[in-house]
Amino acid sequence: MFSLFAISSVLLLAACGENTNENANESEEIKRLDVEISTEPKSADLDVGEEFTVKAQVSYGQEKVEDADEVRFEFWKKGQESAEHEMIDGEHQSDGVYTMNKKVDEPGVYYVISHVQARDQHNMPKQELMIGTTGENKAVSDKEKDDHHQSPGDGDYSKFKADIKIDDTLKIGKETTLTALLMNGDVPISEADVRFEIWKMGNEKHTFLDAEEMEEGRYKLDYTFTDSGEYAVNLHVVVGEFHTHKKTEVKVE
């Protein structure tokens, strides 16, 4: 009887240990900030002169994010410089949905990026919109998608790393160079979409500027700070379906 009792106790303790480990694994599950962009009407039905809504569905694991730190929509027509891109604050609706309303007066290919900051993570999905476009424009767009699909942007970026280099001493009115070095393991990442997001701490206005690739994997932006204080610099990198960001802070005197 004693032996049976001892064996039963061991089995019970083992079962409890397994349950504890399972609960620990569940609690340690890494959650990811997900953002899905859609339009209403659907993107295929958008037309010139008619207002439409862009929606960003924000979730964190199974949770619908109702209190995102920031949701901003970047909107522009193909061919426009970064300085011409519109930045529009998203309006919170419900169930983790944030929206903006838009209307365009010219047919063409447009792009929208939703910049979402929540739960100490950042996500910035991009979507192409063909508004009032002709069959010729659609054919060109389809070709661009095919070319993009064949680009080196598609692949495994599990070994991605980014280094940001900025002058140690930043002075008002003095041009400085912001440099980003992008690597995937030991391989430099070329032909990436690289942008610097710059803003003064406490300010709502964020400036987005494209960086230029100097050589394989090395990108730069020349920038002049016009006011003193603490600034945040967020590096955005998009390569094919892969996108990420890295943030640093600097002081301008």
Amino acid at 103: K
Q: 96-100, 119-123, 139-143, 241-245 — which one is most confidently predicted on average?
A: 96-100
Eight-state DSSP code of residue 225: -
Q: What is the pLDDT of residues 18-66, one digit of tens each?
A: 555 555 444 445 678 889 999 999 888 899 999 999 999 999 988 999 9
Query: What token pair was written down for 244?
Result: 């990420």
Q: 94-103, 106-115, 244-253 — which one is most confidently predicted on average?
A: 94-103
* pLDDT (average), residues 160-173: 88
Per-residue confidence band for 3, with pLDDT thresholds at 50, 70 and 90: low
Amino acid at 130: M
| pLDDT score recorded for residue 132 | 84
- % of the chain at pLDDT higher than 90: 42
In 3D space, the residue among 167, 228, 172 whose CA is nearest the CA of residue 200 turns out to be 228
Q: What is the pLDDT of residues 191-234, one digit of tens each?
A: 888 989 898 988 878 888 889 998 889 999 999 999 999 999 98
Contact 100, 110 (CB under 8 A): no
